[in-house]
């Protein structure tokens, strides 16, 4: 029912304030479309796409400057185009491509704010602008997303970032090569506890707690394990971790089936809205800038439909560029809140996207990057995920971290590409894999096994 008079979260207004659109969501979408069609935004979007890809290749500005001065802009553009297995970066940045191999596409998504770029590209017409007729399909859970991708029922999908790695390796499903095209969002998760546990803020006191995560191969599972292990608890023995679809997390918290969850938004904020939970911490406090969800497809789809893939890639990156702008967040909340997408109260979505939110403990916090939309699939992110799979026994034996990361996460590092071009670089400056810190501990992707072995609590 589009206008349910008995739904407290839905307005009865049949049109927007200006009277020209069917709803406030349609009004917001129209305003965002207008913004996206300005010359300034188109130039900014093209620049964003290009700069994002260059950033992945050259994490260090000094290296990028040396390379550009050595070979010049045109040669650099032609060379860097070889990074993508489908077409040149120049074609992507300029919005040109060959004929689309396939125009009618199905893209799966889970109704969470992590999927914001993928979702908003639909009502804002970004797919259509690329000549694509895309159906974004709301899906019940991650196992179903996985199965529909393996069975080719979806052409592309909203993934949890670890999923393409797991599927490619045959973990939990038949091995099927998958690729991460972009990271859909960074941060955007939280640990939420039941209101009955307001006096148990120290994770060392959580022995016996039952937690939900959305999927086994998820950042949620790996970050929860990391957090409680740092507090001295064994996540396999001292707490219970259950897989619960995100839309069911709040209901399970209310019913007392779980003590808390490390889940995606908007369900952390929805638990506060329903007064059944409070936000213990945002996962950006564990690792600021960590990946959450990704946009991806099968390697087979890319090989068979290179131009279609470029068009998809461009549409999603354009949406990501718009989502990164703080000034657009409130309008985006209106666009993705309706039933066809997230089916959540607009105020809940707005609190997540703007970063001004109630935490359930009587505080209003302001964290602008609570959720962000940096699309870069750094290989070091993939290596960290693989290290945690190894740490907790999902992966056995020797792991070729770099080979797997570069095969699944589409953008390769600067050293590999420059080597292919005949550009010699000192080995000690050629990594291209940025380091980062998780709970204050530095992760060096070149020393993944040592990192795994450094933890007192592990299965490996």
In this predicted structure, what is the pLDDT of residue 264? 96
Q: Is residue 167 pLDDT above 60, yes or no?
A: yes
Locus of tokens 């703007």: 354
DSSP H or E segment with residue 90 = helix 89-94
Q: Of 382 and 80, which is predicted with more confidence?
A: 382
* Alpha carbons 328 and 445: distance in angstroms, whole number: 35
Length of the chain: 460
SS (H, E, C) 185-204: CEECEEEEEEHHHCCCCCHH
For 89-138, write each residue's pLDDT tens digit: 434 444 445 799 999 999 999 999 999 999 999 999 999 999 999 999 99
Give the model's confidence band at 253: pLDDT under 50 very low, under 70 low, under 90 confident, else very high.
very high
In this predicted structure, what is the pLDDT of residue 212? 98
Q: In the chain, what is the straight-line distance between the N-terminal and C-terminal CA atoms, in Å?
A: 51
In this predicted structure, what is the pLDDT of residue 92? 44
* Alpha carbons 460 and 120: distance in angstroms, whole number: 41
Mean pLDDT calculated for residue range 207-234: 98
Q: Is residue 293 pLDDT above 70, yes or no?
A: yes
In this predicted structure, what is the pLDDT of residue 84? 44
Locus of tokens 């959450």: 292
In this predicted structure, what is the pLDDT of residue 302? 87
The residues facing 443 across adjacent strands are 436
DSSP state of 339: T
For 403-454, write each residue's pLDDT tens digit: 999 889 875 432 332 233 232 332 333 344 889 999 999 999 999 999 999 9
Predicted TM-score (pTM) of the model is 0.81
In this predicted structure, what is the pLDDT of residue 441? 96
For 297-322, write each residue's pLDDT tens digit: 999 998 899 889 888 888 888 888 88
Is the omega angle on the peptide bond into residue 390 within 30 degrees of 0, that is, cis? no
For 348-402, write each residue's pLDDT tens digit: 999 999 999 999 999 999 999 999 998 777 889 999 999 999 999 999 999 999 9
Locus of tokens 């530095």: 442
Q: Is residue 279 pLDDT above 60, yes or no?
A: yes
Which of 59, 45, 124 minimizes the C-alpha distance to 92? 45
In this predicted structure, what is the pLDDT of residue 15? 59
Mark 44-67 as b/e (b = at least 16 C-beta within 10 Å).
ebbebbbebbbbbbbbeeebbeeb
Nearby residues of 74 by Cβ (< 8 Å), 6 or more positions away: none
* Alpha carbons 442 and 409: distance in angstroms, whole number: 21
Give the model's confidence band at 296: pLDDT under 50 very low, under 70 low, under 90 confident, else very high.
very high
In this predicted structure, what is the pLDDT of residue 91? 43
Mean pLDDT calculated for residue range 266-285: 98
Share of the chain above pLDDT 70, in %: 76
The residues facing 138 across adjacent strands are 109
Share of the chain above pLDDT 90, in %: 64
């Amino acid at each position: 029912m589009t206008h349910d008079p008995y739904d407290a979260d839905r307005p009865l207004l049949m049109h927007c304030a200006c009277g020209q659109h069917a709803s406030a969501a349609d009004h917001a979408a129209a305003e965002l479309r207008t913004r996206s069609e300005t010359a300034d935004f188109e130039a900014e979007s093209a620049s964003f796409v290009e700069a994002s890809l260059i950033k992945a290749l050259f994490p260090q500005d000094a290296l990028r400057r040396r390379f550009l001065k050595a070979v010049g802009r045109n040669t650099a553009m032609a060379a860097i185009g070889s990074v993508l297995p489908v077409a040149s970066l120049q074609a992507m940045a300029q919005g040109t491509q060959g004929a689309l191999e396939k125009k009618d596409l199905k893209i799966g998504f889970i109704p969470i704010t992590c999927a914001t770029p993928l979702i908003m590209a639909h009502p804002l017409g970004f797919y259509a602008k690329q000549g694509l007729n895309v159906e974004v399909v709301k899906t019940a859970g991650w196992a179903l997303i996985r199965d529909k991708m393996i069975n080719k029922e979806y052409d592309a999908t909203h993934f949890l970032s670890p999923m393409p790695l797991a599927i490619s390796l045959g973990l939990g499903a038949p091995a099927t090569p998958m690729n991460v095209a972009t990271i859909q969002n960074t941060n955007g998760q939280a640990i939420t506890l039941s209101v009955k546990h307001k006096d148990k803020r120290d994770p060392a006191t959580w022995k016996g707690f039952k937690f939900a995560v959305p999927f086994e191969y998820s950042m949620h599972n790996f970050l929860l394990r990391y957090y409680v292990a740092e507090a001295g608890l064994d996540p396999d023995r001292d707490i219970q971790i259950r897989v619960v679809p995100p839309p069911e997390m709040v209901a399970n918290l209310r019913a007392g089936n779980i003590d808390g969850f490390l889940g995606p938004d908007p369900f952390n904020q929805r638990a506060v809205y329903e007064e059944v939970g409070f936000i213990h911490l945002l996962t950006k406090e564990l690792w600021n800038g960590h990946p959450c969800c990704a946009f991806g497809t099968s390697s087979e789809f890319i090989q068979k439909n290179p131009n279609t893939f470029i068009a998809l890639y461009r549409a999603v990156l354009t949406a990501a560029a718009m989502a990164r702008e703080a000034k657009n967040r409130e309008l985006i909340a209106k666009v993705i809140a309706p039933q066809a997408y997230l089916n959540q109260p607009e105020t809940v979505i707005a609190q997540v996207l703007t970063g001004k939110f109630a935490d359930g403990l009587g505080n209003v916090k302001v964290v602008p990057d609570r959720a962000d939309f940096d699309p870069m699939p750094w290989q070091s992110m993939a290596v960290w995920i693989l290290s945690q799979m190894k740490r907790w026994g999902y992966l056995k034996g020797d792991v070729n971290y770099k080979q797997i990361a570069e095969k699944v996460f589409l953008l390769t590092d600067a050293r590999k590409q420059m080597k292919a071009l005949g550009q010699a670089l000192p080995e000690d400056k050629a990594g291209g894999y940025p380091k980062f810190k998780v709970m204050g501990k530095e992760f060096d992707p070149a020393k993944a096994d040592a990192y795994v072995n450094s933890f007192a609590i592990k299965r490996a």
